Amino acid sequence: MENEIQARAAHLAGIRERAEAEMARMGIDAAFIDRLVDTFYGRVQAHPRLGPVFDGRLAGRWPDHMEKMKRFWSSVAFKNGAYGGKPVQAHLGVEGMAADLFPEWLALFSQTLSDIAPSMEAKDWFMATAERIAKSLTLSLFYNPALDDPARKTV
């Protein structure tokens, strides 16, 4: 049992080390994660459609959300386990949340990365990751499999 625990710890450490090396090669460090989150969510707050939805949920709690998002992106980029939340549950029941907001979120994220990413490879990595996150959230929040039931299709 102790050997299994040690092997798992070594395996996880290896995953973190490889992720950190990959991020470093692209120019990504903790300071970039902070800058990305601060810049992006500053733009979200000023966005005519995204701002009201986010502010409706986060009014008075923006600093907490920013720290949570820094932990989230750090966890995703560096595989360090810094984030332990439940993104789908966090977005359930958000007033004004709509599937058509995700493309706007992605466009704003892309523009932010174009402005501040240290390399094209970093921009591409973060965009691919954000697109997977947006797709996952969209499917989790808005997809109804019953609508794809062939028995319900009309010719």
pTM for the predicted model, two decimal places: 0.84
Q: Do the domain assignments include residue 57?
A: yes
Q: Residue 155 above 60 pLDDT?
A: no
Q: Do the domain assignments include residue 148?
A: no
Q: What is the SS3 assignment for 132-149?
A: HHHHHHHHHHHCCHHHHC
Q: Residue 136 above 60 pLDDT?
A: yes
Mean pLDDT over 90-98 rounds to 80
Mean pLDDT over 15-33 rounds to 93
Q: What is the CATH number of the domain that holds 17?
A: 1.10.490.10
Q: Residue 5 above 90 pLDDT?
A: no
Nearest to 99 by CA among 136, 131, 141: 141
Contact status, residue 85 vs residue 68, Cβ threshold 8 Å? yes
Q: Do the domain assignments include residue 150?
A: no
Buried (b) or exposed (e) across 107-119, using 16+ Cβ within 10 A?
Answer: ebbbebbeeebee
Mean pLDDT over 75-83 rounds to 89
Q: Which residue range(s) make up the domain with 68? A: 1-142
pLDDT-above-70 percentage for the chain = 94
Note the pLDDT of residue 141: 85
Q: Do the domain assignments include residue 107?
A: yes
The C-alpha atoms of residue 23 and residue 104 are separated, in whole angstroms, by 26
**Using one digit for the tens of pLDDT, what is the confidence trace for 35-64?**
999 999 999 999 999 999 999 999 999 999
Q: Do the domain assignments include residue 153?
A: no
